[in-house]
Every structure is written in structure tokens, then in C-alpha cells.
Amino acid sequence: MLFDLTDEQQQLVETVRKFVDAEVAPVASDLDHRDEYPFALVERIKELGLFGATIPEQYGGIGLDHTTYALVVEELARGWASMPGLINSHLIMAYMVREFGTEAQKRKWLPLFASGERRGGLALSEADAGSDVQAIRTTARRDGDDYVVNGAKMWITNARYGNTFALLARTDPDADPPHRGMSILLIEKGGPGFEVSRDIRKLGYKGIKTCELVFDDFRVPAENLVGGEEGRGFKYVMSGLETGRINVAARGVGLVRACFEASIRYAQQRRTFGKPIGEHQLIQEKLAEMATKLEAARLLTYSAARAKDRGSRVDLEAGMAKLFATEAAMESALEAMRIHGGAGYSLELPIERYFRDAPLLLIGEGTNEIQKTVIARQLLQRHAL
């Protein structure tokens, strides 16, 4: 590690590790195969305070820095890659309120987010707007004391069982460039014109429902405009996604770790040609590369988290960490399956689940192709002649 953990950090990480080992790992594959929402685990996450992980203590959270938060996410992802999805976009929403909301908004919303009473995530992507955020079409028109929202959002994590979302919408459709006309509204289920239209069936990332949201003249109180000023939503989202990319990078670390731990055990137990397969040179090569990628991914991720804790802009560092850790997760999942052979391809071991979960990390919080563009632009700016 790049740093020594405090006693408090060690205690929290150990608590989460025990929770994962005792309560998450034993049921993960079963819930995954049934694509069943983990209601019982959600309640335990509430009890552990993780819905308020990065929310300051004065607002009812536990006030973790990004580094400790990444450690927690790594542990959760090691047990089941879907688990961090319960809190990632939820905490991006909380981050935007914490950093950019009015004091009245902080006092109202952050305690509700921290307790899990109000939870959900980020309503950002659309059918024709994913990584290209400026292409969104959903509008929010001011009408007296309300905004009237029309449009649709796709790929929204926690949409089925969440109840509150940070919605990015165009409050000035004629703005040029488009991002100057975008704002964030906190929206709640329950009013007419807000429909969770369908669950999206997925290869992996099961259990955590991903849905389409449809808005038809849905009214939102104007007081729910984050920061109280229109036209700043794009900036808020970009800042929040730095936190999200650290989360996804930490998920990648957790998945690489799960693949490595399963593989190093199996390589010492499974025997071929009269000896453990771990004594065969090609298997040793796979283990060596997987362990090296694990350590490199971990160092990149926690370096980005520490930079975020110092208040630095970290789109470069978070992008690098997300890119490397998630590619390492995909590669490690395939190598773990090769090491396990037929057993890894069966539904009896979690290897096949790791293999199905890894691709999401390549495309979540901005595709890795977009990450390379972000990284290159930042490098050119930092090293300008």
C-alpha cells in the first residue's frame, strides 16, 4: 500500500470484510443466477452506515475520505461486483449535494441519504447519450414554483427500488455550447408523470436492477434545483464522476483480487500429471501476471483516491486508475477461467460470474475508450509546450 491505515480505517475495513465473507459471498451466486434484488443485504448496508459512507458526520454520515471509501468498495466487489452498485451512484448524488448544494439542501437531503431512507442514484444516460453527456435531450422547463420534466433516461442503476435520483436535464435547450444549459434536479418517485418503464436484462451485474425512466410532464419543486442556479449541472456531474471512477476502479481491484485468490488456491489443490497445476510453468506465468496487475491496479486506484482527498482535480488520475483496473479485471477473469478449466466454466464456482461481471466495468462511468481520450487531453494540457 501507499500508506499505513489508521486503527479506525483498519477496523472499518475488517468489519466490511467479515460482512462480505459471512453474508455476501455465500449468497452472491444464487442471487446472481436468479437476478434477485438483495433486500436483506441492503438492510445490512443501512446498518453498517454505508449509504452515508462519504457524507460528513454533521449530516448523519460516517464521513469517510475517498481512500477509505475505495478500500470498502474493494472489499464489497471482492464478494459480489454488484454490491458497490448499491452505493456508488447514490453517493455521487450525495456528493453533488454536499459540494454544490445550498445549505438548506444539505440539511434536508444529506441526513436522508445517509440513513438510506432516501436512496437511488444518478439519472444521466439516455438511449442516444451515454459517454457523450452533452447529447442528452431530457428537458426541465420552469413553470412557476416547479420544473416540468419531459424525456427518458436509460441504464439507471437502482431505478426499480430506489426512490430519489439526481436528474441531469436541459433547463435551457438553446444554450450554446449545450453544457451551459444543463442543470441537476433532485427528483422523487411518487408523482404523476414519472414511470420506471422496464428493467434492462444484462449479461452480468445482476440483482441490481438497471432500468429505463420515462418523464411526461413530471413536476419537480424548483427548490430541488441543486445549488439554486441553472446551467451548472454539467460541471457538477463531471466532478461527481471523478468519485464514480474511483469507485469503479476499486471494483476492478476487488474483482482482480477475487480472481487471484480463487486461482492461487485452485492452483495448489488441482493436480495434473502427478503434481499441483501451480507447479506447471504456464500456470505460474498466469498467476504472476495476475498478481502484478492486482498490485498495479491497487496502487493506481489509491493514488487517485488520495489525490482526490487532497482536493486536487483527478480526472487524469481517476481515468488512469479506472482504465487499468477494469482492463485488469477483464483479463484476470478470463485467466482465472483458464486456470480453473471446465470447473471455471460451470455454474458451481463463482469464476463464471466474475467473467460476466467484468465487462460492465469497461463501460461503466464512461467507456475505457473515452477514458483514453480524457487521459490524453489532460496529458497534453499538463505537458503543453
Phi-psi region of 116 (alpha: psi -120 to 50; beta: other; left: phi over 0): left
pTM, to two decimals: 0.95
Cβ partners under 8 Å of residue 278, min gap 6: 264, 267, 268, 284, 287
Cα dihedral 11, 244, 337, 292 in deg (nearest 10): -70
Q: Are 225 and 187 in contact (CB under 8 A)?
A: no
Q: How far are the Cα atoms of 140, 219, 220 from residue 144, in angstroms, in the given order?
A: 12, 11, 11
pLDDT of residue 133: 86
Domain 7-115: give its CATH superfamily: Acyl-CoA dehydrogenase/oxidase, N-terminal domain (1.10.540.10)
pLDDT of residue 2: 63
Domain 235-380: give its CATH superfamily: Butyryl-CoA Dehydrogenase, subunit A, domain 3 (1.20.140.10)
- Class of CATH domain 121-232: mainly beta
pLDDT of residue 1: 57
pLDDT of residue 132: 83
pLDDT of residue 134: 86
- The DSSP code for 225 is B
Tell me the β-bridge partners of 212.
198
pLDDT of residue 172: 97
Of 6, 117, 5, nearest in space to 61 by CA: 117
Which phi and psi (to 5°) does residue 189 adopt?
-65, 160
Catalytic residues: 365
**CA angle (160, 166, 169) in 5-degree steps:** 110
Which phi and psi (to 5°) does residue 304 adopt?
-65, -40
Tens digit of each residue's pLDDT, the chain (385 residues): 566 788 888 999 999 999 999 999 999 999 999 999 999 999 999 999 999 999 999 999 999 999 999 999 999 999 999 999 999 999 999 999 999 999 999 999 999 999 999 999 999 999 988 778 889 999 999 999 999 999 999 999 999 999 999 999 999 999 999 999 999 999 999 899 999 999 999 999 999 999 999 999 999 999 999 999 999 999 999 999 888 999 999 999 999 999 999 999 999 999 999 999 999 999 999 999 999 999 999 999 999 999 999 998 899 999 999 999 999 999 999 999 999 999 999 999 999 999 999 999 999 888 999 999 999 999 999 999 9
pLDDT of residue 8: 87
Q: Can you give the residue ranges of every domain in the chain?
A: 7-115, 121-232, 235-380
